[in-house]
Structures are given as structure tokens and as C-alpha cells.
């Protein structure tokens, strides 16, 4: 079996507070399903095998004051993780 990789990253401009999300994989149009961003809250970049609830619930968690702790793995799936970024601090 051929091994495939997906790379996801979130970044925040400290000066302007703007977010960027990037995802690179072999899955076509992955940019339409992997990034989850909410102004004033933060951004989450998921992997190509997307569980949309990681992004949806992750943004709710950040909005409620939750902290980012680097990359997170979805315990229920072998190929799912996320890279969160918070609007203010961590």
C-alpha cells in the first residue's frame, strides 16, 4: 500500500491578528473541507480524512475560552488530526 501524507498548519499574524490556514495533500479540493476559521476566535486546520466535528467543536471550544495545545488527534479515527490556532494568546 502506498503511504500518503497530509500537512496542515495554522498561523496568526501577531501584528494584525489575521489567520492563515494551509493544507497540502493528494486529495483534490482539500482546501474546501479542511480549514475551519472564525473571526475573533481562531482557526483549525484538519487533515484530508476530515471529521468536520473536529473543526466545528474545536472552534466552539476556543470561543468558550479553551486553550490550544498544538496538534490534536481524533481518538476515534486512525487518520484524523487537527492544528488549532487561537485569536488571542493560547
How confident is the model over 1-22, as pLDDT tens digits? 666 677 788 888 889 888 888 8
For 57, the domain range is 7-86
pTM over 0.85? The answer is no
- 71: confidence class by pLDDT, cuts 50, 70, 90: low
Average pLDDT over residues 73-90: 52
- How would you class 12 by CB atoms within 10 Å of its CB: exposed for 0-12, middle for 13-18, buried for 19 or more? middle
User: Is position 53 within any domain?
Assistant: yes
Are the C-beta atoms of 44 and 8 separated by less than 8 Å?
no
Query: Rounded distance, CA 21 to CA 56, Å?
Result: 15
User: Is position 1 within any domain?
Assistant: no
Number of structural domains found in the chain: 1
The H or E element that residue 52 is part of is helix 52-63
Say how far residue 41 (Cα) sits from the centre of its chain.
Answer: 13
Query: Rounded distance, CA 89 to CA 83, Å?
Result: 15
Are the C-beta atoms of 47 and 27 separated by less than 8 Å?
no
Amino acid at each position: 500500500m502506498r503511504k500518503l501524507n497530509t500537512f496542515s498548519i495554522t498561523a496568526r499574524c501577531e501584528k494584525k491578528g489575521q489567520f492563515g490556514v494551509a493544507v497540502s495533500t493528494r486529495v483534490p479540493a482539500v482546501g474546501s473541507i479542511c480549514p475551519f476559521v472564525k473571526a475573533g476566535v481562531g482557526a483549525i486546520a484538519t487533515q484530508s480524512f476530515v471529521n468536520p466535528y473536529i473543526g466545528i467543536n474545536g472552534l466552539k471550544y476556543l470561543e468558550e475560552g479553551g486553550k490550544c495545545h498544538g496538534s490534536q488527534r481524533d481518538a476515534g479515527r486512525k487518520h484524523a488530526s487537527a492544528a488549532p490556532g487561537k485569536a488571542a494568546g493560547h
